């Protein structure tokens, strides 16, 4: 299993190279050079697996045993998923009118990112120990990634984590998950801007080859292939349990399953597309809030940013640069690196691009997409509560809106990915006129000490942020100098 860049400039890398990278050196994103195909028999043989066993099966398709023997992989994944608050790790809520919610939020920071982050951080730690090296993880976050990276990596000996979040655009609980972690391998910055502004500064740092090389700088955003890889598992898990596969007769084609996905950076929907290409008959629906670039791209090939990121009730998907769409474009263009390079370079230069007809057609066949307003979010949260006494987080409500507006057909099972717990988004719950009992794990966060540093908005903010972060990276490294041996 080898990996290549979506822009055609790099190939032949192994899982370990890719795990320790952010963007590829040519600016692209890493993908497997070829995807394994899951036969109907293979899928049927997985129906009895627990979620963590399925993660092992999926990961073993992409991590060769000479890099990580099977028993090590099993131990790492089991350990990573052992701290979830429900024993099944991923749970299905079957509500009225055939509404099935796939609860992905039972990890430490109550968002689906914990699933892939806990596993990925353990893979990191495993290889760093083996090679006696260190790494610095640099993460920009719209709220959930930062907390999840911090909670997964706090206290690790070989890794420092630098997180930058947009001040005032994350919820109090998200902020606390980041700032209350006082371990000295965790460094948190609050930036005066949007998460897309933060990405501008971080992308430039990742483009500095010397900085990346000499400090073992890496990303844990869903730029990182390992996160996407682990996310393949929940699509397959949902398929095995919800498509009707177990009842379908073996001589018939596999039954399809529609999966409705709240979409921001598009890592989750990219994972869905990959699973589909691996032979699982999924029908994907990307649900967005009024930051609707993904919906416009799918609907009309209009891959262009709006002037501003709008703040909505679903802040984790307030994103105008859905960077994982690059992986989707690559897959759907028949892995045409030159084409993807052209699209992405134009998009980053001018913030707009019209997809070539062929690619747009392939994209609109691979998924559909719908935009939901704040009113739609609140209406969905209220209706689901009234019908079921079941509280949705605002992102999950973006998905479940579809249930109340587009009846599903009898022939097609459908499920909705629940990406966070409502407890993380209390003001959205209140805005919808609902109330929430706070879990004890959250109320204790309030009493904890907090620490973070500011990145202020100045006329030259992008450069100033970059300089501050670069200095910090240097100072982390020199503090560790005594026993450094960076991963390069
Ligand atoms: C990150 C996140 C999303 C979006 O996931 P992508 O993979 O970036 O599209 C949706 N909901 C919540 C709660 C999240 O934290």
Pocket test for ligand 1, best of 316, 322, 399 (most atoms within 8 A of CB): 316
Q: Tell me how crowded residue 80 is: count the other CB atoms within 10 A of its CB.
A: 25
| Ligand 1 binding pocket includes 268 (Cβ within 6 Å) | yes
| Cα R_g (the chain), whole angstroms | 21
What gap in Å lies between CA 286 and CA 236, rounded to an integer? 17
Q: Tell me how crowded residue 478 is: count the other CB atoms within 10 A of its CB.
A: 10
Q: Which among 94, 124, 145 has a CA at the least distance from the CA of 264?
A: 145
Distance 65 CA to ligand 1 centre (A): 31
What gap in Å lies between CA 90 and CA 258, rounded to an integer? 18
Quick one: tokens of 11? 């190939």
Q: Is residue 460 included in any domain, yes or no?
A: no
Q: Are 254 and 281 in contact (CB under 8 A)?
A: yes
Sign of CA dihedral 66, 28, 298, 371: positive
Pocket test for ligand 1, best of 262, 309, 377, 401 (most atoms within 8 A of CB): 262
Atom of ligand 1 nearest to the CA of 263: 9
Distance 224 CA to ligand 1 centre (A): 15
Q: Is residue 359 included in any domain, yes or no?
A: yes
Give the pLDDT confidence score for residue 481 in this predicted structure: 66
Give the pLDDT confidence score for residue 11 in this predicted structure: 97
Atom of ligand 1 nearest to the CA of 395: 11
Give the pLDDT of the chain (488 residues) as one tens digit per residue.
Answer: 999 999 999 999 999 999 998 888 898 999 999 999 999 999 999 999 999 999 999 999 999 999 999 999 999 999 999 999 999 999 999 999 999 999 999 999 999 999 999 999 999 999 999 999 999 999 999 889 999 999 999 989 899 999 999 999 898 999 999 999 999 999 999 999 988 899 889 989 988 989 999 999 998 989 999 999 999 999 999 999 999 998 888 888 999 999 999 999 999 999 999 999 999 999 999 999 999 999 999 999 999 999 888 999 999 999 889 999 999 999 999 999 999 999 999 999 999 999 999 999 999 999 999 999 999 999 999 999 999 999 999 999 999 999 999 987 778 999 999 999 999 999 999 999 999 988 887 888 888 999 999 999 999 999 999 999 999 999 999 988 655 455 54
Q: Is residue 289 included in any domain, yes or no?
A: yes
Q: Which among 198, 208, 214 has a CA at the least distance from the CA of 139?
A: 198
**φ, ψ at 120 (rounded to 5°):** -65, -40
Distance 369 CA to ligand 1 centre (A): 15
Q: Is residue 485 included in any domain, yes or no?
A: no
Q: Is residue 343 included in any domain, yes or no?
A: yes
- Angstrom distances, CA of residue 338 to CA of 6, 32, 363: 9, 17, 18
What gap in Å lies between CA 483 and CA 30, rounded to an integer? 30
Q: Is 150 helix (H, G, I), strand (E, B) or coil?
A: helix
Distance 137 CA to ligand 1 centre (A): 20
Q: Is 487 helix (H, G, I), strand (E, B) or coil?
A: coil
Q: Is residue 446 included in any domain, yes or no?
A: no
Give the pLDDT confidence score for residue 423 in this predicted structure: 94
Q: Are 340 and 362 in contact (CB under 8 A)?
A: no
DSSP codes, 230-295:
HHHHHHHHHHHHHSSTTTS-TTSPPPPEEEEEE-SSSHHHHHHHHHHHTT--EEEEEEE-S--HHH
| Ligand 1 binding pocket includes 263 (Cβ within 6 Å) | yes
| Ligand 1 binding pocket includes 264 (Cβ within 6 Å) | yes
Q: Which among 371, 378, 487, 372 has a CA at the least distance from the CA of 432?
A: 378
| Ligand 1 binding pocket includes 265 (Cβ within 6 Å) | yes
- The Cα diameter of the chain in Å comes to 65
Pocket test for ligand 1, best of 147, 175, 294, 395 (most atoms within 8 A of CB): 395
Distance 315 CA to ligand 1 centre (A): 9
Give the pLDDT confidence score for residue 482 in this predicted structure: 56
Distance 231 CA to ligand 1 centre (A): 12
Q: Are 141 and 165 in contact (CB under 8 A)?
A: yes
| Ligand 1 binding pocket includes 395 (Cβ within 6 Å) | yes
Q: Are 320 and 293 in contact (CB under 8 A)?
A: yes
Q: Which helix (H) or strand (E) holds 30?
A: strand 30-32
Q: Which among 417, 420, 433 has a CA at the least distance from the CA of 394?
A: 420
Atom of ligand 1 nearest to the CA of 268: 7
Distance 432 CA to ligand 1 centre (A): 21
User: Domain total for the chain?
Assistant: 1
Pocket test for ligand 1, best of 268, 275, 398 (most atoms within 8 A of CB): 268
Q: Are 319 and 222 in contact (CB under 8 A)?
A: no
Give the pLDDT confidence score for residue 23 in this predicted structure: 85
Distance 69 CA to ligand 1 centre (A): 31
Domain that holds residue 429: 91-108+225-441
Give the pLDDT confidence score for residue 459 in this predicted structure: 93
Q: Is residue 357 included in any domain, yes or no?
A: yes
Supply the CATH number for residue 436's domain.
3.40.50.1100
Q: Which among 223, 271, 231, 228 has a CA at the least distance from the CA of 55?
A: 231
What gap in Å lies between CA 83 and CA 52, rounded to an integer? 12
Distance 411 CA to ligand 1 centre (A): 29
Looking at ligand 1, which residue's alpha carbon is closest to its atom 11? Answer: 419
Distance 265 CA to ligand 1 centre (A): 7
DSSP codes, 352-371:
EEE--HHHHHHHHHHEEEEE
What gap in Å lies between CA 29 and CA 33, rounded to an integer? 12
Q: Which among 73, 159, 241, 138 has a CA at the least distance from the CA of 468?
A: 138
Distance 25 CA to ligand 1 centre (A): 26
Pocket test for ligand 1, best of 117, 419, 425 (most atoms within 8 A of CB): 419
Q: Which helix (H) or strand (E) holds 166?
A: strand 159-166
Distance 145 CA to ligand 1 centre (A): 9
What gap in Å lies between CA 40 and CA 238, rounded to an integer? 15
What gap in Å lies between CA 357 and CA 348, rounded to an integer? 20
Q: Which stretches within 301-457 are classed as H helix? A: 325-332, 337-350, 357-366, 374-388, 394-405, 426-431, 440-443
Q: Are 74 and 56 in contact (CB under 8 A)?
A: yes
């Amino acid at each position: 299993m080898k990996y290549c860049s979506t822009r055609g400039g790099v190939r032949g890398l192994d899982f370990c190279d890719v795990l320790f990278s952010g963007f590829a050196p040519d600016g692209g994103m890493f993908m497997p050079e070829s995807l394994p195909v899951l036969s109907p028999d293979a899928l049927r043989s997985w129906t009895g697996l627990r979620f963590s066993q399925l993660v092992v099966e999926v990961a073993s398709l992409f991590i060769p045993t000479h890099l990580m023997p099977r028993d090590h992989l099993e131990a790492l994944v089991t350990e990573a998923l052992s701290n979830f608050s429900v024993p099944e790790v991923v749970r299905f809520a079957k509500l009225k009118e055939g509404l099935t919610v796939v609860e992905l939020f039972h990890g430490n920071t109550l968002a689906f990112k914990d699933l892939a982050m806990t596993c990925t951080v353990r893979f990191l730690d495993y290889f760093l120990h083996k090679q006696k090296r260190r790494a610095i993880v640099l993460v920009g976050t719209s709220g959930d990634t930062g907390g999840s990276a911090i909670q997964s990596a706090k206290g690790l000996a070989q890794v420092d984590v630098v997180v930058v979040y947009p001040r005032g655009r994350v919820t109090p609980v998200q902020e606390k998950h980041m700032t209350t972690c006082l371990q000295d391998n965790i460094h948190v910055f609050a930036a005066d801007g949007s998460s897309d502004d933060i990405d501008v500064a971080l992308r430039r740092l990742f483009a500095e080859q010397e900085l990346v090389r000499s400090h073992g700088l890496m990303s844990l955003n869903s730029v990182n292939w390992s996160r996407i890889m682990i996310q393949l598992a929940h699509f397959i898990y949902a398929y095995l349990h919800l498509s009707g596969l177990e009842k379908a007769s073996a001589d018939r084609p596999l039954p399809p399953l529609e999966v409705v996905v709240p979409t921001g950076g598009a890592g989750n929907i990219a994972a869905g597309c990959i699973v589909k290409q691996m032979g699982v008959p999924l029908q994907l629906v990307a649900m967005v809030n009024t930051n609707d670039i993904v919906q416009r791209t799918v609907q009309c090939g209009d891959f262009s940013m709006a002037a501003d990121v709008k703040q909505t009730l679903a802040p984790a998907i307030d994103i105008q640069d859905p960077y994982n769409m690059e992986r989707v474009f690559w897959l759907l263009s028949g892995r045409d690196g030159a084409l993807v390079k052209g699209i992405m370079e134009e998009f980053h230069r001018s913030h707009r691009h019209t997809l070539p007809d062929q690619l747009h057609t392939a994209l609109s066949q691979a998924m559909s997409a719908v935009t939901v307003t704040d009113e739609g979010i609140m209406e969905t949260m209220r209706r689901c509560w009234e019908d079921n006494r079941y509280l949705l987080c605002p992102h999950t409500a973006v998905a479940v809106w579809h249930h109340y507006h587009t009846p599903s057909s009898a022939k097609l099972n459908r499920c909705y990915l629940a990406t966070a717990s409502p407890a993380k988004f209390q003001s959205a719950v209140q805005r919808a006129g609902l109330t929430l009992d706070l879990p004890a794990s959250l109320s204790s966060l309030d009493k904890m000490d907090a620490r973070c540093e500011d990145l202020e908005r100045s006329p030259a903010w992008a450069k100033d942020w970059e300089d501050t972060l670069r200095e910090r990276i240097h100072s982390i490294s020199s503090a560790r100098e005594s026993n450094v041996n960076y991963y390069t």
